[in-house]
Amino acid sequence: MTNAKICWIPGGGSGIGLAVAQALAQAGHTVILSGRRENVLAQEAETIRASGGKADHVVLDVADAAAVAIAHATIVERHGPVTTLINSAGYNIADRTWNLTTPTAFSDMMDTNLNGTFYAIGAVLPGMRTLQRGMIVNLVSWAGRYFAAGAGAAYTASKHAVFALTASLNLEEAGNGIRACAFCPGEIDTPIMLKRNQPPTEEQRLRMLGAPEVGELIRYIVELPPTMNITEIVLSSTGRSRSA
């Protein structure tokens, strides 16, 4: 396709990151999945290729600044400059209330959710400036735009910081043709939901946002003309079951 993009997706091995990768690959873009699990990344990249898409994978712990730089260099060597970055790597902890969260857990959360996002952006910016174009989508979460009961102090703080990071990108880099979107969805039905202390029921999951539909929305954002930028999207479920 014309205007095909090189799309790097930290956190692309599962959940919303994988859904975005699948949507972008189906639209003809090249996707590079990153994450810590080699076997998962390889399998998902192969599945995308088997469906006719262009996919690669690079193992990465986003909390490691040196590893992020090496991963980015590997991608550029294989595919050329990254034109689209989808920062979907992130997590929450089980013990997230004030009386349970430890300093170590808080620090680890910031290392992945905030610092990892910063490292990936820092890696791609020089190339995007040279190209005078680029799209960065940061998966922020509803809890990063508002305050959500149960999200926890560490997660809320990290995601609010990513929202601010996105705004600063648009202020400073718009003149270089670089756009950034803070994507703030409510609950999305992904496998990580099953890791909660009290996992949602099947009925509750069906009333959440669907990962494939969210992936398609992010694809739409990525494919907007370079003269347009959706700086933030706050997205919630209507509460209706997707099985209806």
Q: What percent of the chain has pLDDT over 90?
A: 76
CATH 3.40.50.720 matches 6-235 = yes
* Per-residue pLDDT tens digits for 182-195: 999 988 887 777 66
Determine the Cα–Cα distance for residues 123 and 117; give it in Å rounded to an integer.
10
Collapse the DSSP code of 200 into the 3-class scheme (helix H, G, I; strand E, B; otherwise coil) and give the result. Answer: coil
Determine the Cα–Cα distance for residues 233 and 176; give it in Å rounded to an integer.
22
Residue tagged active-site, from 91, 146, 155, 220: 155
Q: What is the pTM of this model?
A: 0.93
* Per-residue pLDDT tens digits for 56-104: 999 999 999 999 999 999 999 999 999 999 999 998 888 888 999 999 9
In order of 43, 45, 73, 96, 103, the CA distances from 186 in angstroms are 28, 27, 34, 18, 27
Q: What residues does each domain of the chain span?
A: 6-235
Catalytic annotation present for 146: no
